[in-house]
Structure 1
């Protein structure tokens, strides 16, 4: 009688332990997968914009004698046209920062 009672207790404990482990795994796995996807840049939901956030940047126009700064939200690589002393000059915006917090805009012409 004692071995049968011990077997029933152990089998009940084993079933309870396995059930608890399955429930814990069922809640942990989706959370970890979501965290891994978010870390890779695959943002879940619609909280993040589809494009990168645009920030206002001030650019220093290189090799100019007139006003030497230009404010814009356009990304680096964009070509802008700026009028200096009646002349039209084109500049390419770069992502090279200066020590004063502005970015370089290199002349094309």
Structure 2
């Protein structure tokens, strides 16, 4: 009796396709789990910097108002600012103040 479909050949083709699909999926999964030190891994894009205004704590400017400082540097950065003619270091924080600025804490005592 003649058959229109060759069943052993069909099963062999389906099995081969399944093996190739599983192998490709496994390779993609392992490749995506490579560590950040992999030479092909691209560096993550840097976040855009935003201008922030800081109030320099324990300082006063003209009129008795606290000194302000504007920068795009991230929180945790240490800056040097002239206070009464002397350099003083401040650490920028991400602690918001009531006036819409962020706190810059003094590191040096005068």
TM-score range normalised by the length of the shorter chain? 0.5 to 0.7
- How far did 1:106 drift? 0.3
Contiguous gaps of at least 5 residues in structure 1: none
User: Which residue does 1:65 correspond to in 2?
Assistant: 60
Structure 1 residue ranges, 4+ long, deviating more than 6 angstroms after superposition: none
- How far did 1:24 drift? 2.0
Contiguous gaps of at least 5 residues in structure 2: none
User: Which residue does 2:28 correspond to in 1?
Assistant: 31
TM-score, normalization by structure 2: 0.58
- How far did 1:25 drift? 2.4
Distance 1:90 1:84, change over 3 A: same
- Asked if the contact 1:77–1:92 (Cα under 8 Å) also holds between the matched residues in 2, the reply is yes
* Structure with the higher fraction of residues in helix conformation: 1
TM-score, normalization by structure 1: 0.58
SS in 1 for 2:60: coil
Q: Cα RMSD (Å) of the superposition? A: 3.5
